[in-house]
Amino acid sequence: MTAIKEAPASRGAATSRRPSGVERAKSRAGWILLAPALIHSFIFIAVPAIIAVVLSFTDARIVGRGGFIGFDNYIELAGDTKFLRALGSTLIYTAGVVPVGMAIAIVIALALNQNIRARGFFRTLFYVPVVTSTVAVAAVWLWIYNPSAGLANQVLALFGLERSSWLTDPDIALPALIVIGIWQGLGAKMIIYLAALQGISEELIEAARLDGASRWQIFWNVTWPGLAPAHFFVLVTSIASSFQVFDLVFVTTGGGPANATNVLTFDIFTNAFQRLQSGYASAETVIMLIFVGILIYLGRLSQRETKDN
Amino acid sequence: MATSLDPVQAPALTAGAVGQFADPTASSPRRRLPQLGRIALYLVLSVGGFLMVVPFLWMFLTSLKSLSEVNTFSLLPEGFRWQNYVDALNAAPFGLYFRNSLIVVVGQTLPTLAIATAAGYALAQLPMRGKGKILNYFIALLVVPFQVLIVPLFLVVRAIPLAGGNDILGQGGTGWINTWWALIIPFISSPLFVFLARQFFVSLPADLADAARVDGVTELGIFVRIMAPLAKPAFVTIALFNVESAWNGFIWPLVATSDERLRPLQFGLATFAQGAGTIQWPLLMAMSTLATLPMILLFVFGQRYFIAGLANTGIKG
């Protein structure tokens, strides 16, 4: 962000006095060093992002060309029960993974922020699922949820509960995936909270303690507000990543049973690369972007309110 | 009392010796509580940490069982069947998949290290018109979800001019689809790493560079020989993040390739997990172990860089 503040200053310098040879050499070198990343990001990110929006107004197919059809794709989506259900499943998945994951992550981060032994070891345990591939992890959970010899049913039996068919039960499949989502995303959230906690000044806490504040008061008035910037960042990244869940669904359920886990990205993938309707699939991605945007905006609003209080 | 027992907050008391003297009436229960709180704290962390690694433990234990053992539930294997690892490598062309993943990892990471750090350095240390706008452009791209890009990226990669039978306008052929280029080129830089490198270079002083300028070192020489070596932690962080994402990537190779000879490890794993008929769990778990182990080791040895990188992009961003 500092660069944004610097920009007017350097422009002023360039106009008020003639740039020296050194300044010009610096600027030239800057553009040369910047060019590859700039060109790369333009071709492989900016242009595709624009294409996605443009395609959503066409009946383009993966093979061949499409024509402009206005909002027809969006009108069709509004009546597409499979898509609406996918949107619903994605929202349920997000609502299941994000708040629960954030709450657990805060508790773990607070625990790890104490003066304890083997902190690095514990941190590693919580973070490992983040760095391992979702495909491998999904294969392991597929085996855990195996109805006949899996670990999950054995745990249920331990508590005297009835066996479940997990991923093949339309009512259980999505919650079962939510559990995996919480488990895998916990470490990333926890690390960010931990970094925020370590940024809270010790002196502030010590001062509050000397003023006779109880630990509970210190927590609510010093520690909790100190986590605010982290909340927003965790919220944004978590919502974005739970909307993007794909590998997990692909390996464990393939969108089934009876479309119970057919989340948005999976529906997009099917429409784009199996039905080859790239225009229609692009309209779905635009809707997905809008929903992510709305959720992030709501998160920002709620954060502003808590700050005011 | 309930709040004092809170496992998370209780140990804070141990540092609060001053508070204990200030409030002598509460001293006796308070002296016992830190001990209790401490036990609760370790309990929460141990149980939680155990739950986090249970899936990996079970993966490893299963990978050593015989095919008949997994028909019913058992915790420990009857014997250590290391042979499963050999069998798994033979059950599918996993050797080839491993090699392909390595090619993709190296092919993406080396150019990323050069391209993203150079851009980050320029944005942090060199005067350019419109620099702030360019930084905002990279930050905007940072938040575009990759899933949104898959369909259009496929079309862009297919329309690369003069590749794969395409004409100069990128029409008529398959472009880079089903080639190494498709797997590597779209990922030889990333706005995230440009941003991360920029955050790092901003914190370096300009004095050294200025001294080198006086000595007549060229601008590019200053970046390559003076600033880049100072930014070693940034390079390591970017390399680790990129190796991890390249190794674990799945959906793009699935979309952009159909040739068995190009497909990476994650793809092989997914196919094996969905194999027709009954899944050979011990072999699948052996493969999963081999696929996860390199990344776990990478994290254990490089965790300080992983965490510094996350903290830099997360909090300061």
Please identify which residue in the block is written with the tokens 């996350």.
Answer: B310
Residue from B111, B142, B151, B108 nearest B251 by CA? B151
∠ Cα A152 A156 A161 (to 5°): 150
Candidate from A201-215, B5-19, B187-201, B202-216 with smallest mean pLDDT: B5-19
pLDDT score for B16: 32
Question: Is the Cβ pair B134, A38 closer than 8 Å?
Answer: yes
pLDDT of residue A18: 56
Residue predicted with more confidence, A304 or A169:
A169
Q: Which of A2, A34, A218, A243 to mutate to test the interface with B (most CBs of B within 10 A)?
A: A34
Whether the pLDDT of residue B242 is over 50: the answer is: yes
* CB within 8 Å: B44 and A111: yes
Q: Which two tokens stand for residue B257?
A: 């390739």
A11 domain-assigned: no
Residue A288 lies in a domain: yes
Q: Which of residues 177-216 of B touch A (CB under 8 A)?
A: 185-186, 188-189, 191, 194, 198, 202, 213
pLDDT of residue A52: 92
pLDDT at residue A305 in the model: 63
B148–A285 CB contact, under 8 Å: yes
- Provide the pLDDT for residue A104: 95
pLDDT tens digit string along B24-50? 333 333 334 567 888 888 999 999 999
Q: What's the pLDDT band for A298 if we cut at 50, 70, 90?
A: confident
Residue A49 and residue A181 in one domain? no
Q: Is the pLDDT of residue A194 over 80?
A: yes
From the list A140, A142, A215, the residue facing B3 with the nearest CB is A215
Range of the domain at A224: 75-308
Distance from chain centroid for Cα A52 = 20
Query: A26 and A136: one domain?
Result: no
* In the predicted structure, residue B313 carries a pLDDT above the cut 70: no
Pair A177, A248: CB distance under 8 Å = yes
Q: How far is CA A53 from the centre of its chain?
A: 21
A112 domain residue, yes or no: yes
Is there a contact between B127 and B135 (Cβ–Cβ < 8 Å)?
Answer: no
Our CA-based measurement puts residue B63 at a distance from the nearest CA of chain A, in whole angstroms, of: 11
B26 contact A CB<8A: no
ipTM: 0.85
- The reply to whether A22 and A125 lie within a common domain is no
pLDDT reported for residue A201: 80
Binary contact (B41, A31; C-beta < 8 A): no
A132 has pLDDT over 70: yes
Which of A111, A212, A292 minimises the CB distance to B45? A111
Please state whether the peptide bond connecting residue B29 to the residue before it is cis, i.e. omega within 30 degrees of 0. no
Predicted local distance difference test score (pLDDT) of residue A15 = 45
Amino acid at B150: I
Top pLDDT among A309 and A172 is at: A172
Together in a domain, A114 and A158: yes
- Which residues make Cβ contacts (< 8 Å) with residue A156, sequence separation at least 6? A162, A163, A164
Q: Which pLDDT score is estimated for B273?
A: 85
CATH number of domain containing A93 = 1.10.3720.10
Residues B156-162, mean pLDDT to the nearest whole number: 91
A44, B135: Cβ pair inside 8 Å? no
d(CA A250, CA A60): 25
Candidate from A15-29, B162-176, B236-250 with smallest mean pLDDT: A15-29
Residues, chain B: 317
Cα–Cα distance, A120 to A132 (Å, whole number): 18
Q: What is the structure's pLDDT at A12?
A: 40
Handedness of CA A72, A78, A81, A84 (dihedral sign): positive
Tell me what the mean pLDDT of segment A270-288 comes to. Answer: 92
Is the pLDDT assigned to residue A31 strictly greater than 90? Answer: yes
For A:34-93, CB contacts with B below 8 A are 34, 36-38, 40-41, 43-49, 51-52, 55, 62
The three-state DSSP-derived secondary structure of chain A is CHHHHHHHHHHHHHHHCCCCHHHHHHHHHHHHHHHHHHHHHHHHHHHHHHHHHHHCCECCCCCCCCCECCCHHHHHHHCCHHHHHHHHHHHHHHHHHHHHHHHHHHHHHHHHCCCCCCHHHHHHHHHHHHHCCHHHHHHHHHHHCCCCCCHHHHHHHHCCCCCCCHHHCCCCHHHHHHHHHHHHHHHHHHHHHHHHHHCCCHHHHHHHHHCCCCHHHHHHHHHHHHCHHHHHHHHHHHHHHHHCCCHHHHHHCCCCCCCCCCCHHHHHHHHHHCCCCHHHHHHHHHHHHHHHHHHHHHHHHHHHHHHHC
Nearest by CB: A3 against B49, B131, B307: B131
pLDDT digits (tens, 9 = 90+) for B103-149: 999 999 999 999 999 999 999 999 888 999 999 999 888 878 888 89
Check if A133 contacts B (Cβ < 8 Å).
yes
**CB-based contact B11 A115, cutoff 8 Å:** yes
- Give pLDDT, residue A213: 85
Cα–Cα dist A245/A298, whole Å: 21
**Position A283 in a domain:** yes
Same domain, A149 and A274: yes
A192 pLDDT tier (thresholds 50, 70, 90) = confident
Does residue A163 share a domain with residue A34? no
- Does the beta carbon of A140 lie under 8 angstroms from any beta carbon of chain B? yes
pLDDT (0 to 100) of residue A20: 75
Tell me the C-alpha distance between A193 and A199, whole Å: 10
A70: left (phi over 0), alpha (psi -120 to 50) or beta: left
With cut-offs at 50, 70 and 90, classify the pLDDT of residue B22.
Answer: very low
**Residue B285: closest CA among A136, A131, A248, A253:** A136
- Determine which of A100-104, A136-140, B163-167 has the lowest per-residue pLDDT on average: B163-167
Lowest mean pLDDT: which of A152-161, B166-175, B254-263? B166-175
Indicate whether A244 belongs to any domain.
yes
- For residue B312, what pLDDT band results from cuts at 50, 70 and 90? low
Question: Are A103 and A251 found together in one domain?
Answer: yes
Scanning A12-41 for CB atoms below 8 A from B yields: 13-14, 22-23, 25-34, 36-38, 40-41
**pLDDT confidence band for A307 (50 / 70 / 90):** low
Q: Among all residues of chain A, which has the CA nearest to that of B300?
A: A124
Considering A55, A83, A103, which residue would you say is the last residue of a domain?
A55
Residue A210 has pLDDT above 60, yes or no: yes
- Domains, in order of start, for chain B: 2-63 (no CATH), 83-316 (1.10.3720.10)
Torsion of CA A308, B312, B249, A243, to 10 degrees: 0
**pLDDT > 80? residue A278:** yes
The answer to whether residue A268 neighbours chain B at the CB level (below 8 Å) is yes
Whether A304 shows a pLDDT value over 80: the answer reads no
Instruction: Note whether A39 and A82 are same-domain residues.
Output: no
- How far apart are alpha carbons A227 and A197 in whole angstroms? 7
pLDDT at position A205: 84
Considering just the CA atoms, what is the radius of gyration of chain B in Å?
26
The answer to whether position A7 is within a domain reads no
A24 and A159 fall within a common domain? no
Among the partner residues A55, A127, A150, nearest to B152 by beta-carbon distance = A55
Number of structural domains found in chain A:
2
- The span from the CA of B254 to the CA of B267, in Å, is 7
The pLDDT of residue B76 is 85
What is the predicted pLDDT for the residue at B167?
Answer: 82
pLDDT at B25: 39
A155 touches chain B (CB under 8 A): no
In angstroms, what CA-CA distances link B276 with A168, B62, B237, B279?
Answer: 17, 20, 40, 8
Gap between the Cα atoms of A121 and A132, Å rounded: 17
Interchain contact, A149 vs B250, CB within 8 Å: no
